[in-house]
Amino acid sequence: MIRISFDPATLTEQELGWWSEWSARAQKATNKLIEAFETWVAGPKAEQIKPNWNPQIWTELRTWFLQNRFYNKCAYCECDISGFYGDAEHYRPKGSVKFKAANQDLSVATWEIPAEMSKTQWAHPGYFWLAYDWRNLVPACAFCNSGQGKNERFDVGERHLVLVALSQARFDAFPDRIKPLASRNFPGFYYLAPQTLDELERPLLLNPLNSSEQLNPQNHLVFGTKGSIQARDGSPYGKNSIDVLNLDRDDLNRRRQKAQEIFRRDCLFALLKNDSDAEDGGQAYKELLDQYKRGELVFSAAALASLGRVFPSHLQ
């Protein structure tokens, strides 16, 4: 897993046209989901709500992300997914939410409907308001997004949130980029943006897209010389991510080891191209490292780790 930084404000004029059109459709679809959910909350609630999704919207973003930011790789395990169908993975599950407490089996998360609406406790409906939010969507391979991988699991250090009460002053203090979405029918309640949810819920699953420096996967995962993976210094975020995504399985270890061997070979060739006395290895070597730092090649994080053990300053 390697951090991918993305800011729509940096898009080129050509990219911005597509992005603006997609964002408008995503917001319209989000508004419909919120309206349907609040209609359900205000009703008899005979059964759990079943949202009417529009998969085309998140599928289009997955395709765009694969081509333009994730280099046709799974955001989680970094395997190549250009040769077969990949999924649009919702970091926070859009439907039901499951979690594991310490030494317990998988459980279904619940939420308590605020007293202003009802005193009934229901299964968590999922983070439906983030179903089309680009900050909650990453491309993933079929394994990582399946029952063998993450699926609906989302462990947190605090509790899973849905509607949150905010004062007007607190709402006004949010910058526009993370402004909560106001409830249509319940004044004073809001649906929070991913960054704010991260602060309040403390998710234990690492997010490769726009993670804070504190939760940069590099600070929580460490790779061995044979492609093995473990939590750095016992990091609970590293442990949880390895467990949820099954990142320590044998086939991935072998493939990461192969990527490390290829990387070391390519580093040697790049250094041999350098005919100067440059201490940094020369231009070819720099360009190779930059490719891996951007995450352009499969298992970039594991490959860079094999260099970092010998020349940590080269990864600065």
Give the ranges where the chain is alpha helix by DSSP (H).
13-42, 55-68, 168-173, 194-201, 236-245, 250-273, 283-293, 300-308
- pLDDT tens digits, 156-212: 999 899 989 899 999 999 999 999 999 988 889 999 999 999 999 999 999 999 878
The number of C-alpha atoms within 13 Å of 294 and in the hemisphere containing its C-beta is: 13
pLDDT for res 142:
84
Confidence of residue 43 (pLDDT cuts 50, 70, 90): confident
Report the range out of 92-106, 113-127, 229-243 with the highest average pLDDT. Answer: 229-243
Measured CA to CA, the distance from residue 281 to residue 262 in angstroms comes to: 18
pLDDT for res 47:
80
* 283 pLDDT above the threshold of 60: yes
pLDDT for res 213:
82
pTM of the model: 0.89
Task: Please state the domain extents for the chain.
Answer: 8-211, 221-315
Residue 196 Cα distances to 179, 199, 212, 259, 307, angstroms: 9, 5, 12, 36, 35
Cβ-based neighbour number of residue 273 at 10 Å: 13
Cβ-based neighbour number of residue 177 at 10 Å: 11
pLDDT for res 271:
77
Query: How much is the mean pLDDT over the chain?
Result: 87
pLDDT over 90 percentage in the chain: 59
* 29 pLDDT above the threshold of 90: yes
Nearest alpha carbon to residue 217 among 192, 245, 250: 245
Confidence of residue 274 (pLDDT cuts 50, 70, 90): low
Residue written as token pair 């947190």: 156
* 280 pLDDT above the threshold of 70: no
* 275 pLDDT above the threshold of 60: no
- pLDDT tens digits, 64-87: 999 999 999 999 999 998 655 567
Q: Give helix then strand counts, H and E, for the chain.
A: 8, 11
pLDDT for res 100:
85
Residue scoring higher pLDDT (134 or 122)? 134
pLDDT for res 61:
94
